């Protein structure tokens, strides 16, 4: 730090103590405060405009509601069953916690109880969370980015947060990501607020110490974050560690240990008051301490998870293309000595990335790596400080403020343009293809709702949109909403995160009336979720009734779903690579999909619920001859009808 910067930082810190919080600084107090006010107003206004244009474009381009992610409809289905009086369940009578956003699901259920559709509800809530995050970033930038060339650098956090397209996509995704980000950022802002506000220190309250009120506020926000996402407990732990460290570090000599730990105790009391009742209810209602999604996703041996997680992190950082921001963030390292918020920001980012790798990564990259999102606001603040510090360290720019300000402003503008057009969510997201696939699943769900009896059991890997629209009992072949697959199925290390567990034998023992198979080989053999291992049995017990278009391109007779009584290679070549199979009628001529359980086989009902299936009997792949190895691409099964 240069002498000029040291003196300016010192003066700025003293002025900040006298002026207090951002909201309390009158615009006309001084020329400096007037500039800070206009920078704050301009940065927030531009960021909100950028975000509004992006979200508005999704609607104008006709991409809504098909931009709502498939995973969101799993929560919507739980919310709908709750409103109907069936409880928080995916299938009526099956208590499986196939969602990982308890608070978000309750909010959706409340809106649905009032007659509001889930799609506009989640978009409104996510938009409000994005606006709140932009405002909070602008406030934190005003408080933290001080010294020479601070004014133009303060534009970076709110503007870049809005310009990175992942935020716009998360607004319309139906997911809780942006709310979770806001709660985490708000919780840490409360923990550090006493360092930034006018406190008039007394003998019993030092300037650095964490007040009881802010400890409680932070605890409430972290508790709500833990109810929004399970990993919120991790960030609550970081907050508890800081509050404990702060209490012992800043308390006057001779203070009792209990008095020193008072902020941490209050923080912990707020978190546990919100979290413990939910944990107790979860265990009593679902029978497990963690959501079923955890057991389905965090699977496999630790070395395999670390390898998948590192690959996912590398891909996510490359796709997100935030390397310029990360480089600037590293330049803020010397500022750790002046403001401890920077040190904890580095720690939070490192912990977020480490946990991402430890759990095996995430498969949702098209909307930005959602499990890395909580670290993004802190990285942006660090980047702004690194940019300001680096520019101010150049003697020529320090003397010529107008030149330094212009350079910093141009860099912020360049980063914003880069974030708008260069990162993968903007340049190669293929929004049309994504929206098309979601629309196809919606149309397929409408086909099931129209063509099948109400109690028909469907097995599919598309566990969101299709089952929600079809409103039929469903077996999720990847196990997110299925207890048996999540806890007992083998892991395929070649599959992406959240898609590694499946058990085709178990799936068929559930006696689904319909199989919705996303991918058929060119010979018409099912290969999704390990079904290739039991393709011979499928050929004996099921018949193909429809082929469904997957992806963009020309449609036959303008239809997405083509009903057929045999596999047609011509349709497959034109993109109709998804198959719908119906269980063949029983020998008595009556259809087996009667809503009840038609007969027994081997002491088990023909359509056995998960609890009646013996784990050791069905957890392994079938022994003996393999009808079809799903790891190969072209196969031939003499018993399978082809065109």
Is residue 432 pLDDT above 80, yes or no?
Answer: no
Q: In this structure, what token pair is assigned to residue 26?
A: 């009158």
Do 401 and 459 lie in one domain? The reply is no
Give pLDDT tens digits for 140-162: 999 999 888 899 999 999 999 99
Note whether 413 and 462 are same-domain residues: no
* Residue 341 belongs to some domain of the structure: yes
- Does one domain contain both 347 and 412? yes
Q: Taking residues 194-223, what's their average pLDDT? A: 70
In this predicted model, what pLDDT tens digit does every residue of 339-354 receive, in sequence order? 889 999 999 999 999 9
Residue where a domain terminates, one of 427, 456, 478? 427
Strand order in the sheet with 561-563: 474-476, 458-460, 514-517, 578-583, 542-548, 561-563
User: Which tens digits make up the pLDDT trace of 439-463?
Assistant: 999 999 999 999 999 999 999 999 9
Q: Is 169 exposed, middle or buried (0-12, 13-18, 19+ CB in 10 A)?
A: buried
200 pLDDT more than 50: no
- CB contact set of 448 (below 8 Å; sequence gap of 6+): 456, 458, 466, 469, 470, 472, 514
**325 assigned to some structural domain:** yes
Is residue 638 domain-resident?
Answer: no
Kindly tell me if the per-residue pLDDT of 428 is higher than 50. Answer: no
One domain for residues 249 and 382 = yes
Would you say residue 276 lies in a domain? yes
Could you tell me the pLDDT band of residue 328, with boundaries at 50, 70 and 90? Answer: very high
What pLDDT is recorded for position 205? Answer: 39
497 with 611, same domain? yes
Residue 86, token pair as written in the block:
């069936």
Task: Name which of 473, 514, 613 is nearest 86 in CA terms.
Answer: 473
Q: Report the percentage of the chain scoring pLDDT > 70.
A: 80
**Same domain as 159, residue 12:** yes
Statement to judge: residues 420 and 498 lie in one domain: no
Pair of tokens at residue 376: 């993004």
Does residue 415 sit in the same domain as residue 436? no
Q: Is 380 a member of any domain?
A: yes
- Structural domain ending residue among the three candidates 427, 461, 483: 427
Residue 642 in any domain: the answer is no
22-40: per-residue pLDDT in tens? 333 333 345 568 888 899 9
Residues 523 and 456 both lie in one domain: yes
202 close to 99: Cβ distance less than 8 angstroms: no
pLDDT tens profile 239-279: 999 999 988 887 777 778 888 889 999 999 999 999 999 99
Section 89-102 average pLDDT = 96
Query: Is 457 a domain residue?
Result: yes
- The DSSP letter of residue 525 is -
Q: Is the distance from CB of 65 to CB of 119 less than 8 angstroms?
A: yes
Percent of the chain with pLDDT over 90: 56
Q: Is residue 591 part of a domain?
A: yes
Domain carrying residue 452? 432-618
Mean per-residue pLDDT for 539-557? 87
Local structure of 343: helix, strand or coil: helix
Q: Are residues 383 and 451 in the same domain?
A: no
Residues 89 and 103 in one domain: yes
> Which residues does 24 contact at the CB level (< 8 Å), separation at least 6?
198
Please check whether residues 395 and 497 belong to one and the same domain.
Answer: no
Radius of gyration of the chain (CA): 28
- Count CB-CB contacts under 10 A for residue 454: 10
Q: Which of 427, 445, 477 delimits the end of a domain?
A: 427
If one counts the domains in the chain, the total is: 2
- pLDDT value at position 399? 64
pLDDT at 544 > cutoff 90: yes
Q: What is the pLDDT of residues 524-537, one digit of tens each?
A: 999 888 899 999 99
User: Residue 488 is encoded by which pair of tokens?
Assistant: 């007992």
- Inter-axis angle of helices 232-250 and 340-358, nearest 10: 150
């Amino acid at each position: 730090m240069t002498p000029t910067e040291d003196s300016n930082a010192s003066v700025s810190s003293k002025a900040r103590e006298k002026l207090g919080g951002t909201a309390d600084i009158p615009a006309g107090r001084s020329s400096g405060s007037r500039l800070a006010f206009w920078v704050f107003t301009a940065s927030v206004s531009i960021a909100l405009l950028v975000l509004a244009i992006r979200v508005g474009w999704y609607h104008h381009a006709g991409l809504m509601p098909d931009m709502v992610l498939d995973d969101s409809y799993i929560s919507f289905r739980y919310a709908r069953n709750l409103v109907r009086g069936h409880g928080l369940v995916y299938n009526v009578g099956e208590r499986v916690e196939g969602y990982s956003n308890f608070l978000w699901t309750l909010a959706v259920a409340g809106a649905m109880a009032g007659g509001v559709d889930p799609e506009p509800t989640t978009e409104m809530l996510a938009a409000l969370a994005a606006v709140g995050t932009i405002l909070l970033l602008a406030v934190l930038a005003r408080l933290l980015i001080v010294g020479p060339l601070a004014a133009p650098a303060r534009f970076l956090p709110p503007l870049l947060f809005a310009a990175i397209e992942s935020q716009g996509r998360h607004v319309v995704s139906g997911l809780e990501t942006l709310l979770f980000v806001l709660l985490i950022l708000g919780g840490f802002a409360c923990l550090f607020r006493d360092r930034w506000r006018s406190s008039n220190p007394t003998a019993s309250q030092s300037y650095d110490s964490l007040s009881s009120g802010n400890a409680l506020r932070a605890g409430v926000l972290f508790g709500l974050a833990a109810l929004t996402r399970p990993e919120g407990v991790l960030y609550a732990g970081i907050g508890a560690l800081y509050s404990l460290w702060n209490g012992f570090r800043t308390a006057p000599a001779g203070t009792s240990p209990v008095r020193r730990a008072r902020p941490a105790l209050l923080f912990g009391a707020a978190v546990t008051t919100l979290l413990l009742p939910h944990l107790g209810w979860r265990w009593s209602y679902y029978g497990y301490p963690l959501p079923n999604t955890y057991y389905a996703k965090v699977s496999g041996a630790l070395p395999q998870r670390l390898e998948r997680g590192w690959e996912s992190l590398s891909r996510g950082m490359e796709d997100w293309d935030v390397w310029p921001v990360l480089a600037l963030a590293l330049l803020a390292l010397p500022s750790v000595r002046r403001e401890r918020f920077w040190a904890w920001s580095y720690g939070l980012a490192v912990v977020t990335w480490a946990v991402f790798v430890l759990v095996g990564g995430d498969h949702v990259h098209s909307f930005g790596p959602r499990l890395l999102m909580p670290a993004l606001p802190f990285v942006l603040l660090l980047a702004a400080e690194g940019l300001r510090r680096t520019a101010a360290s150049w003697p020529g720019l320090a003397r010529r403020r107008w030149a330094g300000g212009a350079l910093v402003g141009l860099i912020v503008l360049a980063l914003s343009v880069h974030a708008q057009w260069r990162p993968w969510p903007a340049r190669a997201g293929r929004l049309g293809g994504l929206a098309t696939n979601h629309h196809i699943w919606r149309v397929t769900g409408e086909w099931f709702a129209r063509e099948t009896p109400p109690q028909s059991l469907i097995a599919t890997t598309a566990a969101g949109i299709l089952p929600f629209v079809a409103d039929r009992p469903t077996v999720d072949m990847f196990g997110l909403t299925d207890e048996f697959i999540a806890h007992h199925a083998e892991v395929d290390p070649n599959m992406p995160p959240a898609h590694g567990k499946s058990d085709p034998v178990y799936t068929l023992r559930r006696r689904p009336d319909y199989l919705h198979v996303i991918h058929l080989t060119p010979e018409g053999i099912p290969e999704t979720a390990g079904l290739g291992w039991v393709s011979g049995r499928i050929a004996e017990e099921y018949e193909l009734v429809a082929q469904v278009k997957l992806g963009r391109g020309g449609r036959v007779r303008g239809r997405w779903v083509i009903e057929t009584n045999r596999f047609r290679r011509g349709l497959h070549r034109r993109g109709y690579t998804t198959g719908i199979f119906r269980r063949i009628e029983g020998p008595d001529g009556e259809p087996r999909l009667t809503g009840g359980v038609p007969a027994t086989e081997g002491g088990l009902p023909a359509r056995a619920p998960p609890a009646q299936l013996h784990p050791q009997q069905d957890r392994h792949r079938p022994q003996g001859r393999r009808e079809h190895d799903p790891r190969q691409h072209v196969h031939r099964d003499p018993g399978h009808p082809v065109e």
